[in-house]
Structure formats: C-alpha cells, structure tokens
C-alpha cells in the first residue's frame, strides 16, 4: 500500500511560474502536485490537501471567461494562499475590487510589511520581492487586513484569519524574492500545520511499488536515450520489475560523439539491464532529410521513435508498457490546459494518437534537479547524473534548416570540443547547458590567405534551475577564445564562432 503523505495542491491559472511553486514546496519536504484551476471540488476533497495555493496567471479576473474556481472551495476550511492572479481572484470572488493599474509593476520591488502576521514571520519590515502584474487589488472584502504594500500596490499582502485565506501580489517562488522561501515555509508550517516528512527516498519507494502493482507480470519497454531523464526512469522501473524490462536504445544518427558506446557500457554492463540496441540512422534520415520546420522535425522524430519501438516490441513478444523519461518542464512547454504550447517535446506533443502502448512516466511530476537526486539515490554513475540536458531529437534540432550527414558530422565535432573545454575549465557541471548550434547560413572568411565560405557555429551557454527560465552565462573571454580557435582550426566547414547572449525569456534555450 502506497503511504499517504501530506499534500499541498497548486491550482494552476496558466502562470509562467506555476510549476515552480510546486517545486519550491517539495524543496521544503512537503509533497505538492499541480492541477488545473478547474479541477472539481470532489477531486480536491478526495485528495485531502493540507493547503491549496492559487498560482499566478496572464488573465484579468474581471475579463469575460477569466479562469475561476468553484466558490465552494473557499468554504472547505482548508488554508488557501493566492499568488498574484491567485490573490486577485480570491479578493474578487469574495467581494473586493481589482482594477487595471495605471502603472504596470514588473521586476524587483520593495514591499513594506505593515502588519505582524505568521505568514511573514522572520521577515524584515521591508523586503525585496518580484512583481509581475498589470492589475492590482484596490479594496479588500470585509474580514481582510493589509499586511504589506509597495509604492504602486496598496495591497501587496493580505490575510483573513477566520477564512484561512491569504495572498500576496508578489511571487515568493522566484529567487528574486529574497525571502520567498521563508514566506512559503511559513504558509506550510505555521498555517497549514505540515510536518515536512516527504523526501526523494519516499518518492522512489512509492514509485517502485506503484509501478510493480501496475505492471504485474507484463513486459515493459523503455525508451533509453542515455540522458539523465531516461536513464533514471530506466533504473527506477528496473528496480520495480527487474528482467520484465527491456531498454531500447535507438541510434537515430543525431547523437553526440561517443554517446552510443557509453550507453552500451553503462546499462548492459554495469547494471545488467536487458538492452536492445537499434541502428535506425538510415530510417530517420529518410524521414527528415528535407524537413526544415522545427515543429515538423520534432513531431516526425517523436512519431518515428514510437514506430521503432513498436517494431522492436513485435520481435520481443507482447509488450504492454512504454517507459519514458518525461519531466514536468516537457509537459508544460508542450502545452497544457492552462499553458500555451512553446514547443512540442518529442515525448509529449510529438506522440502519435494511435500508439499501441500504455505509458509509464515515473518522473512526470519532477524537475531536472529532483531527477538528479533520484539518480544518485539509485546509484547511477555521476558522469550520467550530471550530464547536461540533451533534446530527444538530438542534433536534429540543433541544425537549423535541413539536415545532412555532413552537417551532423560538423556539428558533432564542434559540440565535442565545447564540452571538452568546458570540462577542462571546471564549468560543465556548474552550468545548465553548453552546446553548439549549426545555422543554415554561410559566411565569408579568410584562412591560409584564401577566401572561405563556410558555416558559423553558435555557442550557447546558459544557467538555470529548471529550464523554465534561463540566463546566458558570462564565460571568460580566454575560454571563448580557446573554443573558437579550436573549432575553426579542427572542424572542417566552419570559419566563424558566435556567442548567443539571449536569456529565456524572450528566447528559448534550444534554437528549435
């Protein structure tokens, strides 16, 4: 029987930081799940949450068809904490007023905490917080007190003890709110009465039991890419079902240098997992060679992955389940009921509708750093645990435009140089991602006193915690010079290296 844990729900109104709220709660050792704002009161009651957090969102509460909740949720006696839009919705539904601000408040702001309250215990009278709103609360319903304000926001924090309803206009879940974690901690422990007993060890035990009960004696296929996500998913499922699992590694021809050999050595060697190695390079190239549109690339590759697995499953006998290393960020970026599609991840938005497998996605509610913790708990080698994220479609979405074998070889060599030099500099494991992009354009250069007309390489290096936001890294000039010189001198068809200094947003980490 899977142990029941304290649960704090996050109701998602489509905010860019919604999933980060759930992650922050789990960092405080309280289990959290994110559900759509229109989740029924019956389902919420059945989950028995200790508290509910309303996320931010892009809508205005007074707009037609604005996202709203079943008002009966406010009568359940469960502590509720509204953030940004969540605060505005609570106030609006309870009879207060929310209006359009004359001056939009975005970025860092100093919040003056004007009333002593357990939600803000341990904070200074004035704290740096992160704002992101165009509307604001202009008056509060009876029973609410103001706990904080800024120069432009009269109700930056409010509380109603009788109703157990609280709210802030700022975002405590982001790092720019200096003591945001303290605010969340106060809500969880001072107001909801949580004890903080959840851990990744608990997660592993529960997932193993859940997978074992679900699968029984049936066979399972795992889509193994060699990246940290699919590797951790494979070990977790292997722990649950043993030899009933067969991992299928598909070499689609878009892998990094030496990747296929590493996967074979680790999984069939060290862990003794059944490994089916499939050379499908020609098959994938025939499908995608003339394709330039990035969304089409991702969908074709995702579809073909499943077809390869279906073909392999027929050779292996009756296979009922397919394991994937899908993460929360994959799901969010591929589009949910409350979030727009940014790009379709091959393992989410790119899956065919007529797929013959049931999916097992044990990491679907985890973020990347949490997956690394699970990997270490399971004994996965550090060189895989600490690997930087790599897209499922591989180098196919790091070549802008059409794909050729020559472009793949070129990009593969340039990427290997970047990784090697980043490791030498001691930066590889400190950064979220460092990689090369090959655009379809060519540029003029001079090499050996002769004119060249060759491709540039775009160097991308970003720091992030969860891939939902990212900042470009200020690499030392000396390191940039070493990388550029090596690539131009050692990689044919390259005569220029440029550095991408765009953060996310407005850009994304990958170019396609």
Shared domain check, 332 and 436: no
Cβ neighbour number for residue 153 with a 10 Å cutoff? 21
According to DSSP, the residues that pair with 471 across neighbouring strands are: 463
Shared domain check, 339 and 206: yes
pLDDT given for residue 386 in this prediction: 86
Q: Which domain holds residue 410?
A: 398-499
How many Å from the N-terminal Cα to the C-terminal Cα in the chain?
43
Shared domain check, 402 and 379: no
- The last residue of a domain, from among 355, 385, 415: 385
The two counts, helices (H) then strands (E), for the chain are: 14, 19
C-alpha pair distances (Å), 67 with each of 54, 64, 173, 224, 500: 11, 9, 21, 39, 37
Shared domain check, 440 and 336: no
Q: Please state the pTM of the whole predicted model.
A: 0.66
Which CATH number goes with the domain that contains 37?
Answer: 3.40.50.880
C-alpha pair distances (Å), 6 with each of 39, 50, 199: 19, 6, 11
pLDDT given for residue 328 in this prediction: 63
Nearest C-alpha neighbor of 305 from the set 374, 179, 394: 394
Shared domain check, 168 and 19: yes
171 in helix, strand or coil? coil
Instruction: Give residue-wise pLDDT tens across range 246-270.
Output: 998 888 999 998 888 888 878 877 7
Residues 6+ apart with CB under 8 A from 344: 295, 298, 299, 302, 334, 335, 350
3 in helix, strand or coil? coil
Shared domain check, 176 and 294: no
Shared domain check, 66 and 181: yes
DSSP 21-41: HHHHHHHTT-EEEEEETT--H
Q: Where are the alpha helices (DSSP H) in 249-293?
A: 259-263, 281-288
Per residue of the chain (512 residues), give pLDDT as tens. Answer: 345 789 999 999 988 788 889 889 999 999 998 899 999 999 999 999 999 999 998 889 888 889 999 999 999 999 999 999 999 999 999 999 988 877 666 778 899 987 678 888 888 889 999 888 778 888 999 999 999 988 888 898 999 999 999 999 999 998 889 999 999 999 999 999 999 988 888 889 889 999 999 999 899 988 888 888 889 999 999 999 999 999 988 889 999 988 888 888 788 777 888 988 899 999 999 998 889 998 899 889 988 888 887 888 788 888 889 898 888 666 655 444 554 433 344 444 445 566 677 889 999 878 788 898 999 999 988 888 888 888 888 999 999 999 999 999 999 999 999 999 999 999 999 999 999 999 999 999 988 778 889 999 999 999 997 777 889 999 999 999 999 999 999 999 999 999 999 999 889 999 98
**508 lies in some domain:** no
Report the domain count for the chain: 3
**2 lies in some domain:** no
Shared domain check, 113 and 237: no
Which CATH number goes with the domain that contains 337?
Answer: 3.40.50.620
Measured distance CA(420)–CA(415) in Å, rounded: 9
**377 lies in some domain:** yes
Contact 245, 323 (CB under 8 A): yes
Residues that are catalytic: 84, 171, 173
pLDDT given for residue 266 in this prediction: 82
pLDDT given for residue 258 in this prediction: 85
Contact 51, 25 (CB under 8 A): no
Please state whether 332 falls in left (phi above 0), alpha (psi between -120 and 50) or beta.
alpha
Shared domain check, 139 and 159: yes
pLDDT given for residue 232 in this prediction: 94
Kindly state the tokens that stand for 6.
Answer: 């304290």
Which residue's entry shows tokens 């003591």? 179
Residues 6+ apart with CB under 8 A from 94: 74, 141, 144, 163, 165
- The last residue of a domain, from among 191, 223, 240: 191
pLDDT given for residue 348 in this prediction: 42
Measured distance CA(297)–CA(293) in Å, rounded: 6
**460 lies in some domain:** yes
pLDDT given for residue 456 in this prediction: 96
Please state whether 496 falls in left (phi above 0), alpha (psi between -120 and 50) or beta.
beta
Instruction: Give residue-wise pLDDT tens across range 336-388.
Output: 455 443 334 444 444 556 667 788 999 987 878 889 899 999 998 888 888 88
Q: How many residues does the chain have?
A: 512
pLDDT given for residue 345 in this prediction: 40
């Amino acid at each position: 029987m899977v142990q029941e844990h304290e649960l704090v729900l996050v109701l998602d109104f489509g905010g860019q930081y919604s999933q980060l709220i759930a992650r922050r709660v789990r960092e405080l050792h309280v289990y959290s799940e994110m559900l759509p704002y229109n989740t029924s009161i019956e389902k919420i009651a059945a989950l028995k949450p200790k508290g509910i957090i309303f996320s931010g969102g892009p809508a205005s509460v007074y707009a037609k068809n604005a996202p709203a909740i079943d008002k009966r949720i406010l009568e359940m006696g469960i502590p509720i904490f509204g953030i940004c839009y969540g605060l505005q919705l609570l106030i609006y539904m309870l009879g207060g007023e929310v209006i359009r601000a004359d001056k939009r408040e975005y970025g860092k702001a100093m919040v003056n905490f004007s009333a002593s309250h357990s939600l803000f215990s341990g904070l200074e009278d004035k704290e740096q917080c992160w704002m992101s709103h165009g509307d604001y609360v202009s008056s509060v319903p009876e029973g609410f007190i103001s706990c904080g304000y800024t120069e432009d926001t009269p109700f930056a924090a409010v509380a109603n003890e009788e109703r157990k309803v609280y709210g802030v206009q700022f975002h405590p879940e982001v790092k720019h709110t200096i003591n945001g974690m303290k605010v969340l901690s106060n809500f969880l422990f001072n107001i909801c009465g949580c004890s903080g007993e959840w851990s990744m060890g608990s997660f592993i035990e529960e997932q193993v039991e859940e997978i074992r009960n679900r699968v029984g004696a049936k066979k399972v296929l795992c889509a193994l890419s060699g990246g940290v996500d699919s590797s951790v998913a494979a070990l977790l499922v292997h722990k649950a079902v043993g030899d009933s699992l067969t991992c299928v590694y598909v070499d689609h021809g878009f892998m990094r240098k030496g990747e296929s050999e590493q996967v074979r050595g680790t999984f069939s060697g060290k862990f003794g997992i059944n490994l089916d190695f499939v050379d499908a390079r020609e098959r994938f190239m025939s499908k995608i060679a003339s394709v330039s549109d990035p969304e089409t690339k991702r969908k074709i590759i995702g579809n073909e992955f499943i077809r390869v697995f279906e073909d392999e499953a027929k050779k292996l006998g009756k296979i009922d389940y397919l394991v994937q290393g899908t993460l929360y960020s994959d799901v969010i970026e591929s589009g949910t009921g409350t979030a727009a599609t940014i790009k379709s991840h091959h393992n989410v938005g790119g899956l065919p509708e007529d797929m013959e497998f049931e999916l097992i996605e044990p990491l679907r509610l985890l973020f990347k750093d949490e997956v690394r913790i699970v990997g270490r708990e399971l004994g996965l080698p550090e060189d895989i645990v600490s690997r930087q994220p790599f897209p499922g479609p591989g180098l196919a979405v790091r070549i802008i435009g059409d794909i050729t074998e020559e472009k793949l070889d070129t990009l593969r060599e340039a990427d290997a140089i970047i990784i090697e030099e980043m490791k030498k500099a001691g930066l590889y494991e400190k950064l979220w991602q460092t990689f090369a992009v090959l655009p379809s354009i060519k540029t003029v250069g001079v090499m050996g006193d002769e004119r060249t007309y060759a491709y540039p390489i775009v160097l991308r290096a970003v720091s992030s915690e969860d891939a939902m936001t990212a900042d470009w890294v200020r690499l030392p000039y000396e390191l940039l010079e070493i990388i550029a010189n090596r690539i131009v001198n050692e990689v044919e068809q390259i005569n220029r290296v440029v550095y991408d200094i765009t953060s996310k947003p407005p850009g994304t980490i990958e170019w396609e």
